[in-house]
Amino acid sequence: MNDASAAFTAAFGSEPTGRWAAPGRVNLIGEHTDYNDGFVLPFALPQRVVAAAALSDEPGWAVCSDFEPEPVAFTSTGLGAVEGWAAYVAGVVWALTDAGFDVPPARIALTSDVPVGAGVSSSAALESAVLTALADLGGLDLPVADRPALAQRAENVYVGAPTGIMDQSASIRCEEGRALFLDCRSLAVEQIPFDLAAAGLAILIINSNAPHQHVDGEYGARRKSCEEAARILGVPALRDVTPDALDEALGKLDDDVMRRRVRHIVTENQRVLDTVELLRAGRIRDIGPLMTASHASMRDDFEITVPEIDVAVEAALAAGAYGARMTGGGFGGCVLALIDAADADTTTAAVERAYAERSFTAPTAWMATPGPGATRLP
């Protein structure tokens, strides 16, 4: 990662007041459940966006980043017209302004080592870093628990991606060494201890390097289908269909595709709850089968996996992983495999071999431990 402070000085000719960092995330389990008012269990990655920032004497905001060399400037009157990576910054300014906050004029330099397009929330990390910096610089009275919804509004309304609240919640509310159990309806959180090293375990993240893009129609189509099913079933959200009422609910739906979408959400919510129970009891290894069942549900019922992702899961399991699943919105991105820490190299090699046999672009893999959420750096 380039030094954000040095980037700030190079772009603006002065020292930043401080640096604020916000991480990418992986989701241990609970996929597409967030916009169904359900449960998710992400943890923060060590990879993060760093925002070096200072208040500005001039009106408006100026931002530079290592995404693109050209700095971007905008004022409150031109706020609606910002595009590309800077739209995530302008979106945060817009969401704060729209919520009645007096957003301070600022200069910001951004650096990031969160892989882009890998389904690990590089955009939520960017929004969260900017939001945290602006809230601190402006002394905004904005409780941490209220911040994810504002960053989500930046993405939903300004950028136009119909995502749920998981990614921004993970980037802002996660804690080091823990997974974040989030109830996406009440926004209540429980920090679940997740000490992989103490159990001799590791989470291997395998980036399929297959392109990932959920601003396109598939993510929105899944969301629409879930909302339509909830309407037909007469419930506020699919969260309200419990596993014991699932068969009855499925009986009320004519469309087979919609039935399978509902089955994924209802069973996935239960898998999150079961995973949390096991982790509370310190039984990390035993969550493996739930991860693998989650993957099968995403592959067969929700239909959001791609061949590269399925092959990575199968190869990791064949190499001895306790469980493996795709993480994130789908149609590419990353796979998580729960493995013995000593098996990282052999598991990675097994996935690489499987990819080479099929002439897929080579995957990249790294081990992840839960890092901290958004914070001001010392």
Residue 164 in contact with ligand GAF, rule: CB under 6 A: yes
From residue 244, alpha-carbon distances to 31, 35, 241 in Å are: 20, 21, 8
**Residue of 38, 329, 332, 370 that binds ligand GAF (CB under 6 A):** 329
Binds ligand GAF by CB under 6 A, chosen from 12, 21, 32, 151: 32
Q: Which stretch binds ligand GAF (CB under 6 A): 11-19, 32-40, 190-198, 311-319?
A: 32-40
- C-beta separation of 38 from 238 below 8 A: yes
DSSP string computed for 95-139: HHHHTT--PPPEEEEEEE-SPTTSSS-HHHHHHHHHHHHHHHHTT
The CA-atom distances, in angstroms, between 273 and each of 60, 116, 166, 192, 285 are 45, 30, 16, 12, 16
Strand 334-340 versus strand 375-376 pairing type: unpaired
Question: Which span sits near ligand GAF by CB under 6 A: 26-34, 226-234, 312-320, 360-368?
Answer: 26-34
Residue 51 annotated as binding? no
Which of 22, 25, 21 has its CA nearest to residue 45?
25
119 is annotated as contributing to ligand binding = yes
107 forms bridges with which residues in the sheet?
54, 62
Q: Given candidates 34, 127, 301, 352, which one binds ligand GAF under the rule CB under 6 A?
A: 34
* Identified catalytic residue from 66, 98, 167, 286: 167
24 lines the binding site for ligand GAF (CB under 6 A): no
Interactions with ligand GAF, residue window 198-237 (CB under 6 A): 214
Minimum Å gap between C-beta 201 and ligand GAF is 23
By CB under 6 A, tell whether 37 contacts ligand GAF. Answer: no
Q: How many residues does the chain have?
A: 378
Structure tokens at 15: 């020292």
Catalytic site includes residue 345: no
Instruction: Work out which of 166, 210, 226, 238 binds ligand GAF, going by CB under 6 A.
Output: 166
C-beta of 338: minimal distance to ligand GAF in Å? 18
Between 109 and 276, whose beta carbon lies closer to ligand GAF?
276
Residue 117, annotated as binding a ligand = yes
- Give the C-alpha separation, 173 to 176, whole Å: 10
Q: Which residue in the set 36, 47, 65, 163 belongs to the binding site for ligand GAF (CB under 6 A)?
A: 163
Nearest to 304 by CA among 32, 18, 27, 23: 32
**Of residues 27 and 209, the one with the C-beta less far from ligand GAF:** 27
Gap between the Cα atoms of 294 and 42, Å rounded = 14
For 338, phi and psi rounded to 5 degrees? -90, 115
Instruction: Rule CB under 6 A: say whether 328 interacts with ligand GAF.
Output: yes
Question: Is 32 among the annotated ligand-binding positions?
Answer: yes
* Contact positions vs ligand GAF (CB under 6 A): 27, 31-32, 34-35, 163-164, 166-167, 214, 328-329
Q: Which residues carry out catalysis?
A: 167
- Residue numbers in the known binding site are 31-34, 117-123, 155, 219
